Amino acid sequence: MPRLDAARVRAWRDLQSIVPEIERRIDDDLRAEWAVPLGWFDVLATLRELDGRARPQDVASVMRIPASSLSRRLDRLEEEGWVRRHRDVDPDDHRAVEVELTRRGRALWREMNVSYRRSLQARFATALTDRDIQGLSATARTLSEHASAEPPAGV
């Protein structure tokens, strides 16, 4: 196992600071054009990836956010009419809920996705070569697998 040296700490600190910066800029772009934050768009996009309907815990898991953060977002999206909660999914469990994109939510996602992709292109993709993307994707997979694994004893 490699030791935690200055280069690894610096790499972590760089990653820790640049991802939120890019997200803030994309969020600014979406808010300016749509008055909708990136966090809400991410929920709509994730629901779309999950075939338009899913349990909240599955959405939160895919997004890698706490269920409580998702719950607040779902409340707002439901108020806007972009998602609908279904509470009749399991007659044996009255707590069971599924969330579905509404027709309006799908339309908003389609329209916002153009703006999102434009911002992502400008803020992220144009700065990287195809080789950079391959390396970044491989690194993200490695980190994802490592983050999902049980920590070593004593940590």
Side-chain-facing half-sphere of 68: CA atoms under 13 Å: 0
- The residue to which tokens 């939160």 are assigned: 60
For 33-90, give the DSSP string: HHS--HHHHHHHHHHHHTTTEE-HHHHHHHHT--HHHHHHHHHHHHHTTSEEEE--S-
Q: Domain map of the chain by residue range? A: 15-144
Q: Which CATH architecture has domain 15-144?
A: Orthogonal Bundle (1.10)
pTM given for the model: 0.88
pLDDT on residue 152: 64
CB 43 within 8 A of CB 77: yes
Distance CA 91, CA 61 (A): 24
pLDDT on residue 19: 95
pLDDT on residue 88: 78
Q: Over the chain (155 residues), what is each successive 10-residue block's mean pLDDT? A: 89 95 98 98 98 95 93 96 88 81 97 98 96 96 85 64
pLDDT on residue 95: 73
pLDDT on residue 149: 76
